[in-house]
């Protein structure tokens, strides 16, 4: 046991550690304490342990409340301009997406609006969205670019993402998603646009440390496997991690491609096949489930959750917060949908926004569980059972928030 003094100890907590070495549901430990030194968890101990009783520094009595790791939203598009609410209204009235696109709607309408905003305007627009996630317990959030689709506008979005992490009390993991759609000025010349991403965007993003990873939309309406392979190879050559929007609309074998490149995660996965599952299981690539888009688009084909589970593929859950297909800044709603629509248990959903989501962002060694050595990001909940966090929406029983070892307002 480390004998250096602790900075702060949280006592009399029911710890949902999500540590797989703890053989109880949610890794639950009754009447335990979290001892923090600096920004890290120094020890997890019984509240009655001598090290706790002899502590003379700051103490917070949790009074038997539930403590979980901080939530991680590992897939969002939280920076954009404009609104797509009118487009949704048209879809509800039966207007097909192709017609909406002809009228100027779809992703390219968001691209036009995003290009028209300054960096400051984008930042101010994104702040309340990210704050909504924070209020639900998110302590780490991934934010993608992908609505600029030019060199300058993609970098503008990534700078906004970094700035959100600096100004708000949240850890931001930015991702370059320049391969989100073919921009109108490159219509019919997708390979040329891929060359722009590979030759110009990725080297600068890597050099200026504007992103942690590179994502693609590998799909029949976006980019081919060969084009995505070029982008992934360039990303790896510049030290950036790999993620992928794959198998959402068709089976383009994108999950296999992500796995072959050792990607952190493959996301959506509604049309994933057995070969893709096997490749992900072999590579350790996390499956990120995005039920918000499934719900909002009224899809019918579900991801093969049972097969993924049986293969031992880690299941993460994320909000996919974006203006067109999942306009929900709510990680708790995403968990609820994952249970109701996809058949996850509440424990799996909670693990999906903690332990497994940390892996999906390459942060599994530092985040996602309550154990010594991890960063001290954790939440205090006034609930009698962990499932309440997932079940009951609209009421927020979050009463305490600790980020990097510091008490924050819940």
Q: Which run of H or E residues covers position 129? A: helix 119-135
What is the distance between the alpha carbons of residues 312 and 40, in angstroms, rounded to a whole number? 29
Task: Give pLDDT, residue 1.
Answer: 45
Q: Tokens at residue 190, please?
A: 């997708």
Query: How many residues are there in the chain?
Result: 410
What is the distance between the alpha carbons of residues 268 and 81, in angstroms, rounded to a whole number? 24
pLDDT in tens, 159-195: 999 999 999 999 999 999 999 999 999 999 999 999 9
pTM score, whole prediction: 0.97
What is the distance between the alpha carbons of residues 248 and 217, in angstroms, rounded to a whole number? 9
Task: Give pLDDT, residue 410.
Answer: 62
- In the chain, the percentage of residues whose pLDDT exceeds 70 is 99
C-alpha distances out from residue 328 to 40, 157, 331, Å: 31, 20, 8
pLDDT in tens, 267-325: 999 999 999 999 999 999 999 999 999 999 999 999 999 999 999 999 999 999 999 99
Give me the residues paired with residue 266 across strands.
244, 287
Question: Are 139 and 73 within 8 A, CB to CB?
Answer: no
pLDDT in tens, 269-279: 999 999 999 99
C-alpha distances out from residue 8 to 5, 61, 317, 406, Å: 9, 11, 31, 9
Residue ranges of alpha helices (H) inside 284-344 are: 291-296, 305-311, 331-342
Whether 138 shows a pLDDT value over 90: the answer reads yes
């Amino acid at each position: 046991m480390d004998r250096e003094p602790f900075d702060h100890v949280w006592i009399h907590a029911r710890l949902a550690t999500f540590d797989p070495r703890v053989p109880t549901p949610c890794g639950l430990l009754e009447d335990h304490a979290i001892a923090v030194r600096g920004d890290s968890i120094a020890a997890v101990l019984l509240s009655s342990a001598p090290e706790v009783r002899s502590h003379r520094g700051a103490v917070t009595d949790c009074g038997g409340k539930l403590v979980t790791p901080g939530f991680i939203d590992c897939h969002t598009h939280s920076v954009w301009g404009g609104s797509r609410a009118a487009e949704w209204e048209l879809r509800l009235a039966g207007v097909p997406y192709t017609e909406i696109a002809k009228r100027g709607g779809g992703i390219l309408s968001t691209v036009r609006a995003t290009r028209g905003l300054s960096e400051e305007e984008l930042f101010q627009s994104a702040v309340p969205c990210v704050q909504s996630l924070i209020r639900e317990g998110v302590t780490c959030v991934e934010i993608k670019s992908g609505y600029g689709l030019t060199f300058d506008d993609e970098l503008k979005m990534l700078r906004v993402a970094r700035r959100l992490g600096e100004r708000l009390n949240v850890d931001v993991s930015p991702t370059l998603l320049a391969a989100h759609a073919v921009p109108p000025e490159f219509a019919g010349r997708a390979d040329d646009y891929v060359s722009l991403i590979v030759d110009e965007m990725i080297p600068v993003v890597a050099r200026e440390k504007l992103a942690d990873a590179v994502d693609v939309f590998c799909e029949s309406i976006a980019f081919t496997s060969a084009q995505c392979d070029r982008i992934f190879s360039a990303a790896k050559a510049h030290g950036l991690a790999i993620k992928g929007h794959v198998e959402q609309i068709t089976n383009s074998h994108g999950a296999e491609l992500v796995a072959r490149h050792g990607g952190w995660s493959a996301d959506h996965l509604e049309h994933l096949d057995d070969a893709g599952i096997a490749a992900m299981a072999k590579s350790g690539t996390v499956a990120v489930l995005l039920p918000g888009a499934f719900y909002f688009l009224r899809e019918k084909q579900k991801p093969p959750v049972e097969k993924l589970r049986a293969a031992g593929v880690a299941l993460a859950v994320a909000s996919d917060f974006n203006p067109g297909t999942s306009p929900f800044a709510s990680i708790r709603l995403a968990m609820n949908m994952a249970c109701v629509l996809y058949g996850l248990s509440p424990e799996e959903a909670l693990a999906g926004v903690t332990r497994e989501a940390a892996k999906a962002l390459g942060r599994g060694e530092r985040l996602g569980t309550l154990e010594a050595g991890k960063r001290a990001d954790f939440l205090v909940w006034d609930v009698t059972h962990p499932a309440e966090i997932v079940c009951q929406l609209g009421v927020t029983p979050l009463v305490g928030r600790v980020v990097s070892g510091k008490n924050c307002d819940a």
